[in-house]
Amino acid sequence: MTNLNFCPKCGQPISSRHDGGRERPACLTDGCGFIHFGDFSIGCAGVVTREMDGELQALLVQRGQNPFAGMWQLPGGYAEHDELLSLAVEREVYEESGIVASVHDVLAFRHALAGSGGGPSTNIYVIFRLNYESGEPRVDGDEIKDAGFYSLPEMEAIEGVQGLSKWGIEQALQSVPGSGLSIGAIDERSKRNDWQLYGLTF
């Protein structure tokens, strides 16, 4: 957990307060009420597939920078605090590969505690299935060194394919599109642009 010395809300020194069954860093200044519940991040990755010469291929990108420079993985990254997750993954796929794709459903998510995967914060990492729309792989040569569509047999011959990425691709190929969590339109609230509800489609 981040070692806070001053309140990010009012600037006064941080103390502690018992809340939710444990001691938490908190501001005790009258009228402030800030409580630090921990450091969290939300990551997202997209499985984008398309058929080439009768064979289904999935998009992979090769990292150009550390950590894990040279590794091949699904395109993805962190969602901004003011960005819907579906838009974040579509943005990340385009930024890292030049591929335009749209969210279809959620295949899986991973929950990792701070430090368990080398990250500084507790992380939720959501793997989406996306529909390929257009474009050919292109990279910036800096953050991303290479990108391309590959079949599972081709991935077996590529050194450094991330295990979680390969697992996500296998989930996409072995499941029916739409069988995961989809963005639902249950009522007028879901048409707002500041939140989305994901659920099973029946």
Domain count, the chain: 2
Query: For residue 86, is it within any domain?
Result: yes
State mean pLDDT over 180-195: 72
Query: For residue 153, is it within any domain?
Result: yes
CA angle 76, 88, 69 (to 5 degrees): 20
d(CA 11, CA 152): 53
pTM: 0.89
d(CA 12, CA 32): 9
Query: For residue 180, is it within any domain?
Result: no
Domain encompassing residue 9: 1-38
Asked if 88 and 167 sit in the same domain, the reply is yes
Give the chain's mean pLDDT.
92
d(CA 188, CA 118): 41
Asked if 109 and 163 sit in the same domain, the reply is yes
d(CA 162, CA 60): 10
Reply yes or no on whether the pLDDT at 190 is more than 60: no
Asked if 62 and 155 sit in the same domain, the reply is yes
pLDDT digits (tens, 9 = 90+) for 47-100: 999 999 999 999 999 999 998 999 999 999 999 999 999 999 999 999 999 999
Paired tokens of 137: 């792989």
Kindly report the CATH number assigned to the domain that includes residue 68. Answer: 3.90.79.10
pLDDT band at 115 (very low <50, low <70, confident <90, very high): confident
> Helix, strand, or coil here: 58?
strand
Considering only CA atoms, which of 99, 133, 126 is closest in space to residue 91? 99
Asked if 133 and 47 sit in the same domain, the reply is yes
Asked if 78 and 165 sit in the same domain, the reply is yes
**Number of Cβ within a 10 Å radius of residue 142:** 8
Asked if 115 and 159 sit in the same domain, the reply is yes
Asked if 104 and 46 sit in the same domain, the reply is yes
Query: For residue 87, is it within any domain?
Result: yes
**Residue listed under structure tokens 């998009």:** 59
d(CA 22, CA 20): 6
Asked if 31 and 61 sit in the same domain, the reply is no
Asked if 51 and 138 sit in the same domain, the reply is yes
Predicted pLDDT at 41: 93
Q: Which helix (H) or strand (E) holds 66?
A: none
Asked if 58 and 13 sit in the same domain, the reply is no
Q: In residues, how long is the chain?
A: 202
Query: For residue 155, is it within any domain?
Result: yes
The DSSP 8-state label assigned to residue 194 in this structure reads: S
CA angle 69, 99, 126 (to 5 degrees): 65
> Helix, strand, or coil here: 112?
strand
Q: Name residue 109's beta-bridge partners.
A: 126
d(CA 89, CA 42): 11
Query: For residue 193, is it within any domain?
Result: no
Asked if 136 and 77 sit in the same domain, the reply is yes
d(CA 103, CA 90): 7
Paired tokens of 113: 């505690």
**Number of Cβ within a 10 Å radius of residue 80:** 11
Asked if 50 and 34 sit in the same domain, the reply is no
Query: For residue 192, is it within any domain?
Result: no
